[in-house]
Amino acid sequence: MGENSRAEQYFHMLLDDTSLDQSAHVLAHNNIGGVYDNQGDYEKALKSYEKSLEIQLISLPPNHPDIATTYNNIGSVYRHQGDYEKALKSYEKSLEIQLISLPPNHPDIATTYNNIGSVYRHQGDYEKALKSYEKDLEISLISLPPNHPSIATTYNNIGSVYKNQGDYEKGLKYYEKDLEISLISLPPNHPDIATTYNNIGLVYNNEGDYEKGLKYYEKDLEISLISLPPNHPSIATTYNNIGSVYNNQDDYEKALKSYEKSLEISLISLPPNHPSIATTYNNIGSVYHNQGDYEKALKSYEKSLEISLISLPPNHPSIATTYNNIGSVYHNQGDYEKALKSYEKSLEISLISLPPNHPDIATTYNNIGLVYNNQGDYEKALESYEKTLSIVRRTLPLAHPSRRLIESAVTAVREKLSK
């Protein structure tokens, strides 16, 4: 019997013991919820936490710190399910109680700021996310030992904000700070170490260093398969990321196999409209797209868009990415009008939700340039390509393949205009 199963059995035994008082039952419900949460069984986790809260609201003063803890736990379940609005509401209830009932630099307040930051990050509001994470870090550095795992988690989350903003250098710097602490303070197969390896892999993948990216993803997968249940959402995420490396390396068979493993796990472990499922459909679409199977690609992208429009804020960067991909299918099919319409939707969202030099904005300008180039409108094509090149020169390494391609495109269009 695994550790989680033994823990679950023990806490259920406590609940069956009628001689115990309400506080023991609350603790048991919360702990069972934690077991289910770690297993990725979010419905059962939520049910346990809500039972705990029900008892607490009757038996404790309204601003008791334990009530704040339970609101925090409920918020984390909603966050894992992708219901960011409900998650934020629960975290804010938790914070409201903590600011009344706890000292200002208490670690629990830091944890809640961290959780609020994670909601904003998943919603694509990176400024608010960074602000919350920095509040968390400020408190944690005062109240915790220097190598505490919670500080590592915060460095990891700050790194993820910078990565999502396209600042890969800063992202990597914070991930390495996280890893340094985690390797000292956690067991070697702890899931948090796997998460950090995954995030370092993401940076290298985005920078075009696919071999290093794959190396870190495989380290992540090795730990996750030991430390997590087989259908845990984190394993789905790792398969998804491994698929992205193979896709970038043009190994479409391996990419599709990895994405399908990810989707299989996600459909078991997550709600049907979870943003992670949308991401995987988007990635499957990109494989079909790269293979030239435009019908299947469009079908997958449209599934991704359908879920994203339900589960994410209207200006979320992931929606921009999907519009961009749909535009690319129409472009490859020669439907330049529909392609341009999709690219412009993508650009409109990206300019609202991302920093001005984000690589995704460069990609969309480049795609708009391609449409104008194919239509023979070389002046507009050059204008878009130059916007792309301006961003790329600030954000990508000299050797990145995308940078060389864009420089060649600018040269080719200038030659056409000079004739």
- How many domains does the structure of the chain reveal? 1
* 397 within a domain of the structure (yes/no): yes
Going residue by residue through the chain (419 aa), what tens digit of pLDDT does each one get? Answer: 345 455 445 444 544 445 445 566 677 777 788 888 877 788 889 998 999 899 889 889 999 999 999 999 999 999 988 899 999 999 999 999 999 999 999 999 999 999 999 999 999 899 999 999 999 999 999 999 999 999 999 999 999 999 999 899 999 999 999 999 999 999 999 999 999 999 999 999 999 999 999 999 999 999 999 999 999 999 999 999 999 999 999 999 999 999 999 999 999 999 999 999 999 999 999 999 999 999 999 999 999 999 999 999 999 999 999 999 999 999 999 999 999 999 999 999 999 999 898 989 999 999 999 999 999 999 999 999 999 999 988 887 787 878 888 899 999 999 999 87
- Asked if residue 383 belongs to a domain, the reply is yes
DSSP 69: H
d(CA 186, CA 220): 15
| Helix then strand then coil, % of the chain, to nearest 5 | 80, 0, 20
CATH of residue 340's domain is 1.25.40.10
Q: Residue 371 in contact with residue 388, Cβ under 8 Å?
A: no
244 CB neighbour count, 10 Å cutoff: 25
Q: What tokens were used for 335?
A: 């439907």
In a domain, 352, yes or no: yes
How many Å apart are CA 234 and CA 266, to the nearest integer?
9
- Provide the pLDDT for residue 6: 55
Separation between Cα atoms, residue 405 and residue 363, nearest integer Å: 12
pLDDT for the residue 9: 53
**3-state class of 197 per DSSP?**
helix
375 part of a folded domain:
yes
245 domain residue, yes or no: no
20, part of any domain: no
What confidence score (pLDDT) does residue 272 get?
93
pLDDT at 24: 63
Any domain includes 235: no
Q: What confidence score (pLDDT) does residue 328 get?
A: 96
* 365 inside domain: yes
* Domain containing residue 335: 323-418
Residues 6+ apart with CB under 8 A from 214: 201, 242, 245
Helix and strand element counts for the chain (H, E): 20, 0
Rounded CA separation 293/300 (Å): 11
- Amino acid 10: pLDDT: 43
